[in-house]
Copies of this chain bind each other. A is one copy, B any other.
Amino acid sequence: MFYHVKELQYEAKPSCPDPVYAKKLQEVLGGQFGEITVMMQYLFQGFNCRADAKYRDLCLDIGTEEIAHVEMLATMIARLLDGAPVKEQEAAYASNPVLAAIMGDMNPQHAIVSGLGAMATDSAGYPWNAKYTIASGNLLADFRANLNAESQGRLQVVRLYEIADDPGVKDMLSFLIARDTAHQNQWKAAIAELEAREGDIVVPTTFPRELEKQAVAYDFYNLSRGEASSKGRWANGPSMDGRSVFQYVSQPVPYGPKPFLNPAPLYIHDTLLPMYKA
C-alpha cells in the first residue's frame, strides 16, 4: 500500500516557461526509457518477486522513488508550459521571427489535449505502453534490464541537460542524473551479488548446460565480410563464463539443409502447386 506526501523529492521549477523544451522533456517522462518505464518495471518486479525478501524490497524501494520522479517531471513540464502562447499569429510573430520559430515547434497536444499539463507520452507524442517493461521472474535477467534502463535513461537526461539553458531545469536534471548514477551502481551491485550466488553469468543459470548444443556455444560467426570483428575481446581468449574459449569462425557455413514446406490443405486456399491443380 502507498502513501503520498505533498512535497517533491527535489525542486522542479524552471526560471521561465519554455514550451518547446517541455515537448523535449517528455521523452524522459513517458518515453521508452523514461521515468514511467522504470517506475512500472521495478514495481511489477517487486509485486511478482518470488525470491528472497531483500530483492523484493530492493525493487519496491527504487520503484517507489521513481513515482516521485514521475511527479517531478510532470510538475516541471506543467511549469514550462505556463502561459504558452498557443496561437500562431502572423501579426505577433512578424516582429519576432525567432519567437515564431521556437513557438512553432510546441507540441500542439500540450494546448489542445492536456491544457498545459504533462502527458504520459514521449517527445514525439507517442503514448507510453507496457511493452517498455519486463518482469520475467528471473532477477539476474531483470536486473540487467534495469541496468540497461538506467544507462539509456541517464544518457537521455544528460543529452537534455546539454541542450538546456534554464538554471532551474539544469538543477533538477543534475539531481536526476545523480540518482541514475546511484541506480546504475546499485543494479550493478545486485547483478554481481546474484552472479556470485548463482555461480554463473549465463541467464538462466539453472538450465543444464549439457542440453544445449555445446559445440556452437562459444563461436563467433564472421558474417559481414572482412575481419574487423576479430580484434575484440569477444573473439579472443577465455569466454566470460570461464567455461571455454572464444572461437572466431572466419567463414561460417550453414549446418542445415534447404527447407521445403508441404502444400497446405485445400481448405486453406493457399496458392496451389500446379501438380495439385490437375
Quick check: A254 and B115 within 8 Å, CB to CB?
no
Quick check: B178 and A83 within 8 Å, CB to CB?
no
The 4 A-B residue pairs with the shortest CB-CB distance in the complex, in nearest-first order = A115-B137, A124-B125, A48-B117, A8-B256
| Contact among B132, B178, B211, B215 for A214, CB-based, below 8 A | B178
Quick check: A197 and B274 within 8 Å, CB to CB?
yes
Quick check: A272 and B124 within 8 Å, CB to CB?
no
| Contact among B120, B132, B182, B256 for A216, CB-based, below 8 A | B182
With A52-B273, A156-B112 given, is the CB distance from A4 to B124 under 8 Å? no
Alpha-carbon separation in the docked complex, A6 to B61 (Å): 11
Quick check: A3 and B151 within 8 Å, CB to CB?
no
Quick check: B268 and A115 within 8 Å, CB to CB?
yes
Residues of B within 8 A of A192 (CB): 233, 240
Rounded to whole Å, the gap between the CB of A113 and the closest CB of chain B is 7
A72 within 8 A of B: yes
Quick check: B254 and A221 within 8 Å, CB to CB?
no
With A58-B229, A100-B97, A126-B125 given, is the CB distance from A141 to B148 under 8 Å? yes
Q: How many copies does the complex hold?
A: 6
Residues of B within 8 A of A68 (CB): 1-2
The size of the chain A interface, using a CB distance under 8 A, is 194
**Given A1-B254, A55-B271, A181-B212, 12 more contacts at CB 8 Å?**
A47-B71, A50-B78, A57-B228, A82-B261, A86-B163, A93-B98, A113-B156, A115-B269, A139-B271, A174-B212, A182-B219, A190-B233
Residues of B within 8 A of A32 (CB): 113, 131, 134
Rounded to whole Å, the gap between the CB of A101 and the closest CB of chain B is 4
Ordered by A's residue number, 19 sampled pairs between the chains whose C-beta atoms are within 8 Å are A4-B224, A8-B259, A9-B255, A36-B130, A44-B117, A50-B271, A54-B232, A65-B221, A83-B265, A97-B101, A111-B159, A116-B268, A128-B130, A152-B203, A159-B267, A161-B207, A185-B240, A192-B240, A206-B266
> Which residues, 35 to 85 on A, are CB-close (under 8 Å) to B?
36, 40, 43-44, 46-58, 60-62, 64-65, 67-68, 70-72, 74-75, 78-79, 82-83
Quick check: A264 and B115 within 8 Å, CB to CB?
yes
Quick check: A51 and B222 within 8 Å, CB to CB?
no
Quick check: B105 and A104 within 8 Å, CB to CB?
yes
> Which residues, 135 to 154 on A, are CB-close (under 8 Å) to B?
135-141, 144-145, 147-148, 151-152, 154
With A75-B261, A229-B61 given, is the CB distance from A154 to B105 under 8 Å? no
